[in-house]
Structure 1
Amino acid sequence: MKSPFQGPASIREVYFIGIGGIGMSAIARFFHAKGVKVSGYDKTPTPLTRDLEASGIAIHYDEDISKVNENADIVVYTPAIPATHKELLYYREKGTKIVKRSDVLQLISEGSFNICIAGTHGKTTITTMVAHLLRDTGFGCNAFLGGIAVNYDTNFWSDPKNVCVIEADEYDRSFLKLSPDIAVITAMDADHLDIYGTAEAVEQGFIDFSNRLRPGGILFRNFGLKRGKDLAKHLPDTRYAYSVQNDQADVYGENIRLDNGGYDFDVVLPGDRIDNVRLNMGGMHNVENAIAAIAVASSLGIEKEKIRAAVDSFRGVKRRFEYLIRNQKLVFVDDYAHHPEELRALIKGARSLFRQKKCTIIFQPHLFSRTRDFADGFAEVLDLADEVILLPIYPARELPIEGVTSEMILEKMKNDNKRVMEKDDLLKWIGTDYKSNISDEFGNLLITAGAGDIDTLLTPIKQLLSGI
């Protein structure tokens, strides 16, 4: 599959349609770091777009062809942008080269050693962990992340070493344009059925991705994947399964101890082990994520002591089990979880850490199609909380689907302590009812989750609950 345009050296000016997306902004930062003139459009201002603007990138927030860059050598767009977008149509009529984000990543990584992390959940955390381990240990890498690394407050960095750590996105089959030297596959659950159609097609997509591993490559797959043995069959001697603590896997954890909201554990590797690893993050799923990242770092020959120190210094990913408030009376955790299995790991992980606290989750469903396809799964998982507040569905790229609302999930839940609330009503409720009913004896656990714009509520909620 040949890349659709010449190398980055031939590009002087680039325009982004949807520049504020987490993946798009990483590519924008890449070009900006290379001295290319970068500008773009997005629907609404966010902390990400404000950071881009602060770095000198011009962004506007209305579809206005008078504000586009007439001299752009290429236009990069996200598949989330509708085909009828005025600026996209303008550039098509003008004859400007228009490419997807995945085309740019393909071009950037064609000549590099690539570590690509894929999966329907867990990939952002593992990608960020791997990139941090390589940076912190001095191994070095270029990083294209799907989240903001708390250690560095960015989702991109460059390095002279010709190694790329890339979050491999299955949406729109983008990851099939990458050529990994090392790949991690975390999960192959049914998702993005608007693209794939069936769960089987999703699984086949990941199999196709694994087949793109270069000769001599290495695959680390989550132990127990339904079609795990079909992955990377062309590399029979360098396929390894990892698990949080199943000793039937090639890589797994032992002696896992919960301590002060984090974990201490040992990691068993093929023919080796690393003892006394400290992870300062909550959730057993993050122990498993760390085990995968450690396996990657170890396969590169990085010394045990450096790996151990790097894991200990890892501060997490924004909106991935991120502590916003943490004291005796209130623990407030935020997470990007937007698939039933991600929510399950989030709620179970938080409840295991804070067993006696009443658990309230505020969840914003993401996409009408995902809500329709997984309403039963969302209802089952949300029942794990003591109290559930649902926000209206965040549509993102979609138009409404008749009969599909947040109430669809609500009606399927068995827990009676549930409701749907608009954002303004939610903030009023947080500042009055919720705040006044925080337990003096055991305290409360508050979780916000979702991939839409629920993050705009985090600062107001934190301000309302400050001083508790």
Structure 2
Amino acid sequence: MDRPHFIGIGGAGMSGIAKILAQRGAEVAGSDAKESATAEALRALGVTVHIGHATEHLADDASCVVVSSAIRKDNPELARAAELGIPVVHRSDALAALMEGLRPIAVAGTHGKTTTTSMLAVSLSELGLQPSYAIGGDLDAPGSNALHGEGDIFVAEADESDRSFHKYAPEVAIVLNVELDHHANYASMDEIYESFETFAGKIVPGGTLVVSADHEGARELTRRLAGSVKTVTYGEAGDADVRVTAVVPQGLKSRVTAVLDGQELTFTVSVPGRHYALNAVAALAAGAALGIPAAELAPALAAYTGVKRRLQLKGEAAGVQVIDSYAHHPTEMTADLEAMRAAAGDSRILVVFQPHLFSRTQELGKEMGQALALADASVVLDIYPAREDPIPGVTSELIIEAARAAGADVTAVHDKAESPAVIAGMAKPGDLVLTMGAGDVTDLGPLILDRLSQQ
């Protein structure tokens, strides 16, 4: 992989691998659909980034072409690679190659992967261990989703959506939760369990699986594994190996107490919400399984102050705070809204929600609507299609109907460009506005703030 070409190099997973290869001295090139801050960050590392997909963007002497599952078969650069006989490598295989010879920690689960991977990357760096890491989101600046470190630990987000996490052989694996999602690739919970069982089976001999004791899906996975791999459970459940005894909200932070190997540890998590506190404990248990003293790792976890799009404060105008949330699954939506409710006190919470994927909306639209009932009022946009084609009869109206049935105050806005004016017209000083979803709803934050400042 000395001269790789990435199709879709600006994506969260793809850009991280490209960045690490560039830092290791490879001559990296790639293409993406549009300009972005990530593209500029890659160029700053010497990476050649083309905008748009065209056959001429692929150099004849490229050593391989790296793709993700989102790249369509008719992509012109992919067709050109076939003509030239250039090997095509899936993103997961490229990431697996980067981890060879190191001590990998792979973080899996339906929700919380990016946050937990980020917590480990930041806290291990804080301890001077110089880990390498590949994360599905930016820590504090474009391009900060990956780093080649000089240490022997590699922390990676392990994506179950297309079963690509089967490619990794971690020394420590984390499973935060197991739920049905990615309906285009999984037809049932049994298929999900089988996929996670395969992932756990890839842990190297003598390695450890760190798994939630609180989520029923994770507990069922533990039962199915039946001692086939060394397992450490964590959570608030009474039978957890690493037991959380207290999570105390402190504004936009939490104070967490956990007992590990008989030792009581109390530390700060610098982001709000019980689910983020539990993610931190998962990171603590994983670090301990790797041999890092828990008493040192626990305070280092406070250095993590968030990752872009995970309850990220975008700004304040006219007394209204605007916060960005990546939540797009009902469980995530509920967790983030509950976290904001605990932190907000008497403040109203307003949401601009953009559903992500037709298949997910078809399967979970009712539950999404019920989650929105936790907000004081919501604006619901049309579905962000991402990689999918429309499904007849599947629209955001499924969510709106369920939300109204649950007693929610919901407004449908079909033109995304109109939503900043709509939400600004609803907002009052002291309110919190959440832009929520995995699509381009994140772009609305600055527009809402600008609109509020004009009032």
The answer to whether TM tops 0.5 is yes
Alpha-carbon contact 1:211-1:233 (below 8 Å) kept = no
Matches for 1:103-252 after TM superposition, within 5 Å: 103-150=93-140, 154-223=144-213, 224-226=215-217, 227-230=220-223, 232-235=225-228, 238-243=230-235, 245-252=236-243
2:417 to 424, 431, 451: 424
Name which of structure 1's ranges 149-158 and 24-33 shifts more when overlaid on structure 2: 149-158
Alpha-carbon contact 1:323-1:332 (below 8 Å) kept = yes
Deviations, residues 342-369 of structure 1 (Å, cap 9, x unaligned): 1110111111111311111111111111
Shift of 1:327: 8.9
RMSD over aligned Cα atoms: 2.1
Query: For residues 247 and 331 of structure 1, do their structure 2 counterparts lie closer, same or farther at Cα, with a shift above 3 Å needed?
Result: farther
Q: Distance in 2 between matches of 1:304 and 1:234?
A: 24
Match of 2:256 in 1: 265
Deviations, residues 302-326 of structure 1 (Å, cap 9, x unaligned): 3455324312221111111212236
Shift of 1:143: 0.5
Question: TM-score with structure 1 length normalisation?
Answer: 0.91
Name which of structure 1's ranges 313-322 and 451-460 shifts more when overlaid on structure 2: 451-460
Which SS does the other structure have where 2:136 is aligned? strand
Shift of 1:205: 0.7
Q: Distance in 2 between matches of 1:233 and 1:48?
A: 43
Shift of 1:258: 1.7
2:448 to 461, 465, 468: 461
Match of 2:435 in 1: 448
Shift of 1:93: 2.2
| Number of matched pairs | 449
Q: Distance in 2 between matches of 1:263 and 1:229?
A: 28
Alpha-carbon contact 1:217-1:235 (below 8 Å) kept = no
- Amino acid aligned to 1:460: L
Shift of 1:467: 8.9
Which SS does the other structure have where 1:193 is aligned? coil
Which SS does the other structure have where 2:418 is aligned? helix
Q: Distance in 1 between matches of 2:305 and 2:318?
A: 21
Match of 1:3 in 2: none
Match of 1:39 in 2: 29
Query: For residues 257 and 152 of structure 1, do their structure 2 counterparts lie closer, same or farther at Cα, with a shift above 3 Å needed?
Result: farther
Q: Distance in 2 between matches of 1:346 and 1:459?
A: 20
Deviations, residues 397-428 of structure 1 (Å, cap 9, x unaligned): 11111111112211222224332342211123
2:274 to 284, 290, 301: 284
Alpha-carbon contact 1:151-1:314 (below 8 Å) kept = no
Alpha-carbon contact 2:57-2:77 (below 8 Å) kept = no
Give structure 1 stretches of 5+ with no counterpart: 1-10
Query: For residues 304 and 242 of structure 1, do their structure 2 counterparts lie closer, same or farther at Cα, with a shift above 3 Å needed?
Result: closer
1:75 to 65, 69, 82: 65
2:344 to 354, 369, 372: 354
1:66 to 56, 63, 66: 56
Deviations, residues 244-279 of structure 1 (Å, cap 9, x unaligned): x3333111222332213211121111332212x011
Alpha-carbon contact 2:249-2:342 (below 8 Å) kept = no
Match of 2:2 in 1: 12
Shift of 1:164: 1.0
Alpha-carbon contact 1:211-1:231 (below 8 Å) kept = no
Name which of structure 1's ranges 21-30 and 131-140 shifts more when overlaid on structure 2: 131-140
2:39 to 35, 44, 49: 49
Which SS does the other structure have where 2:216 is aligned? coil
Alpha-carbon contact 2:249-2:273 (below 8 Å) kept = no
Query: For residues 355 and 153 of structure 1, do their structure 2 counterparts lie closer, same or farther at Cα, with a shift above 3 Å needed?
Result: farther
Q: Distance in 1 between matches of 2:314 and 2:97?
A: 38
Shift of 1:44: 2.0
Alpha-carbon contact 1:190-1:202 (below 8 Å) kept = yes
Q: Distance in 1 between matches of 2:374 and 2:205?
A: 45
Alpha-carbon contact 2:356-2:384 (below 8 Å) kept = yes
- Amino acid aligned to 1:241: T
Alpha-carbon contact 2:310-2:324 (below 8 Å) kept = yes
Match of 1:381 in 2: 371
**Percentage of identical aligned residues:** 33
Q: Distance in 1 between matches of 2:23 and 2:339?
A: 38
Q: Distance in 2 between matches of 1:42 and 1:153?
A: 15
Shift of 1:466: 4.8
Q: Distance in 2 between matches of 1:196 and 1:260?
A: 39
Question: Does residue 400 of the first structure (1) align with residue 390 of the second (2)?
Answer: yes
Shift of 1:83: 1.1
Q: Distance in 2 between matches of 1:255 and 1:409?
A: 35
